[in-house]
């Protein structure tokens, strides 16, 4: 892959902005007036995971939090601030947790292939592997093992989302955004909706339709 130089990045920006202005003269004035995105995206920091590209969305449509292996940590003040702001101020209607196959963070957790802070960060995924070791170890290839753990990781992070005080407050008040677990296949560029069946977790919600809307689930085997 050929990478642009820093100077080329700035030139690209100028030509992109000029094209936008030519197509829609008021585009940037409208953009600068404020944001009301309907989506919060919790994704992996991986450079191959800009959700806006995969979904053909524009600036102003998706509020974003990304970290290595799309973790929803109940002690991460950065993530919790984003979630609080997205839910209570922006009033997003959907939260998308999107992992991906061939994820380096998942591989690091599964194989212990990294050292330093990342090794600490992915420890919850390593714990998740130990919880599901019998299922994962039975898979026939390394790729399948890594990708299955990526799926289980998305399910675990969706569950974590429901455990935050922010979502619990929303559910008590019956105005929680819909939460979606997705996994992106880098080999095809396609996103799969995991249709996570949250009702099995016995989470409190007065909106039972929200938590039992998915009746078929191919991912949580």
In this structure, what token pair is assigned to residue 125? 């995924």
- The b/e string for 81-115 (b: 16+ C-beta within 10 A; e otherwise) is ebbeebbeebebeebbbbbbbbbbbbbbbbeeebe
Active site residue 46: yes
Active site residue 100: yes
Catalytic residue among 65, 98, 103, 170: 103
Active site residue 193: no
Active site residue 84: no
Number of residues lying near Zn ion (CB under 5 A) = 4
Stretch that binds Zn ion, among 103-111, 117-125, 163-171, 197-205 (CB under 5 A): 103-111
Minimal distance in Å, beta carbon 202 to Zn ion?
A: 30
Which residues, 6 or more positions from 36, have their beta carbon under 8 angstroms from its beta carbon? Answer: 60, 90
Is residue 110 at the binding interface for Zn ion, with CB under 5 A as the rule? no
Distance separating alpha carbons of residues 52 and 54, to the nearest angstrom: 6
Which residues, 6 or more positions from 48, have their beta carbon under 8 angstroms from its beta carbon? Answer: 100, 186
Binding mask 30-69 for Zn ion (x = CB under 5 A): --------------x-x-----------------------
Bridge partner list, 40? 63, 95
Active site residue 76: no
Positions in the binding site for Zn ion (CB under 5 A) = 44, 46, 103, 105
Catalytic residues: 44, 46, 48, 100, 103
């Amino acid at each position: 892959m050929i990478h642009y130089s820093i100077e080329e990045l700035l030139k690209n920006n100028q030509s992109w902005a000029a094209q936008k202005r030519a197509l829609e003269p008021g585009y940037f004035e409208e953009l600068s007036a404020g944001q009301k995105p309907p989506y919060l995206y919790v994704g992996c920091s991986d450079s191959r995971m800009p959700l806006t590209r995969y979904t053909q969305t524009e600036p102003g449509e998706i509020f974003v939090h990304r970290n290595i292996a799309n973790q929803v940590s109940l002690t991460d003040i950065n993530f919790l601030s984003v979630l609080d702001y997205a839910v209570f101020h922006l009033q997003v209607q959907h939260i998308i947790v999107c992992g991906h196959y061939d994820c380096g963070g998942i591989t690091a957790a599964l194989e212990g292939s990294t050292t330093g802070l990342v090794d600490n960060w992915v420890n919850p995924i390593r714990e998740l592997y130990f919880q599901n070791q019998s299922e994962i170890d039975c898979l026939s290839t390394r790729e399948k093992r890594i990708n299955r753990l990526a799926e289980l990781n998305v399910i675990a992070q969706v569950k974590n989302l429901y455990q935050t005080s922010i979502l619990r407050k929303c559910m008590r008040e019956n105005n929680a955004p819909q939460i979606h677990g997705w996994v992106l296949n880098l080999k095809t560029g396609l996103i799969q909706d995991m249709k996570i069946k949250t009702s099995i977790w016995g989470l409190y919600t007065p909106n039972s339709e929200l938590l039992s809307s998915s009746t078929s689930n191919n991912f949580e085997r």
